[in-house]
A = this chain, B = another copy of it.
Amino acid sequence: MNRSECEALDRDDPLAPKRGAFAIPEGLIYLDGNSLGVLPAHVPGRVRDVVETQWGGSLIRSWNEHGWLALPRRVGDRIARLIGAPAGSVVAGDTISVNLFKLLGAAAQLAGPRRVILSDDGNFPSDLYVAQGFRDLVDDGYALEIVAPEEVVDALDERVAFTMLTEVDYRTARRHDMRAVTAKAHARGARVIWDLAHSAGAIPVDLAAAGADFAVGCTYKYLNGGPGSPAFLYVRPDLQDIVRPPLTGWWGHAEPFAFTPDYRPAPGIDRFQCGTQPILSMAALDAALDVWDGVVMRDVREKSLALCSLFIDLVEERCARHGVTVTGPRETAARGSHVSLRHPQGHAVMQALIASGVVGDFRAPDMMRFGFAPLYTRFTDVFDAVAIMAGILDTRRWDEPRYHARRAVT
């Protein structure tokens, strides 16, 4: 594949016009994998309106007049469409960690005598930390069992109360078969909590078709909601009224403004709300989701697979000889929309890439992660990124001292 062929792919790309909806810095190839999606071009104007007109002008009245109170549900419904969830089953707010805790408490109410929480070692560590905190607080015999991702299905036995899995591995992009895992869990009487952090906006998710019980996810990656934008939470409609979250705040109360002394859960997904949400961040997310209007996830997936395949092929052709290896499954159907590469000097190589205008991120000890957001990544971006990486490796440019300073990256 040469550059002209990539240019042809970009010309024929049905999603190509979407790139114009984003404010991407000139000359930057942004393949962050993906802790912060790029800024949709219309978001600054919308945020300005929320700050100056709504907060500044309408002040307290905005909770009703500008729909602030309704934002968690409104945003939730907009995300629902992208993850195969029915309206009224998703609510936005808080963080993945907090939402996961809510769902652990809810799932535990369906556990009967079972006391095993099953997860895998490809899960994002913070999810495991939340489960550890839950286990220690509840102190009711829960055990957290962690197996390899490919062992999850076999480990789903009659001791398992629920399994808690991230669909797409944050490092290798290995993708669980949501439908198969959920079916097996249900056959064994267990529940599943899915983390869609690297799925929402990246791959087609069909929570309803899979019969998924619970899910969480974030919005600052492929949904471009902005730094640390609010997370979301899904509960299958038939479960919403038979469980209650352990975090019981007024926004989840049946009558939040009645100020009764006793908690009474709101019907439906609203009971999974808790406290007052950060409206500036929530409004930016709401605006960002406009970009998704009319987008069909099947088109997104098709382009995502093509971008990832192109990247993997070019890396193997031009970088493998320098000790770069591709992680995760080769079969694209079993992958998400990012690709992680290993190299003993991965951190330095990534610093050299960033200095050359190609932004990915790094996960210790040796993993360079590249995300391919189909709405704004071009085939020529992929071509150029690999060409630049090959140049850095060919000339050992990563060996310059300035690329070896360590600092925290997200």
Contacts and interface: CB of A to CB of B under 8 A. Distances in A.
How many residues of A sit at the interface, in one of the four size bands?
Answer: 35 or more
Interface string A184-198: 000000000000000
Interface in A108-158: 121, 124-126, 128-130, 132-134, 136-140, 146
A68 B227 contact: yes
Interface stretch (A161-169, A206-214, A244-252, A338-346): A244-252
Interface string A235-246: 000000000011
Interface string A264-301: 00000000001111111110100000000000000000
Nearest to A126: B250
Given A30-B59, A36-B59, A95-B276, A363 B259 contact: yes
5 contacts: A43-B51, A48-B48, A64-B408, A95-B276, A137-B246
A14 interface: no
Interface stretch (A97-105, A310-318, A378-386, A390-398): A97-105
Contacts of A62: 36, 227
Given A136-B246, A277-B95, A278-B229, A410 B257 contact: yes
Q: Identify the interface centre among A55, A98, A284: most chain B CB within 10 Å of its CB.
A: A55
A23, A47, A282, most chain B CB atoms within 10 A: A47
A8 interface: no
A364 interface: yes
A73 interface: no
A336 interface: no
B276 A218 contact: yes
Contacts of A262: 128-129, 132
B36 A60 contact: yes
Nearest to A56: B39
A17 B132 CA distance: 51
A55 B227 contact: yes
B96 A275 contact: yes
A133 B6 CA distance: 56
A116 to B, nearest CB: 17
A163 to B, nearest CB: 16
Contacts of A247: 97-98, 101, 130, 133
Contacts of A402: none
Contacts of A215: none
B408 A257 contact: yes
Interface string A59-81: 11111100011000000000000
A1 interface: no
A359 interface: yes
Instruction: Report which residue of A43, A69, A249, A407 has the largest number of chain B beta carbons within 10 angstroms of its beta carbon.
Output: A249
Contacts of A52: 23, 39, 44
A276 B38 contact: no
A407 B60 CA distance: 13
A223 to B, nearest CB: 14
Nearest to A263: B129
B128 A261 contact: yes
Contact of A249 (B130, B257, B278, B410): B130
Nearest to A274: B97
Given A98-B98, A132-B262, 12 more contacts: A23-B52, A30-B59, A54-B227, A94-B275, A95-B277, A98-B274, A124-B250, A130-B247, A220-B276, A226-B279, A227-B279, A229-B280
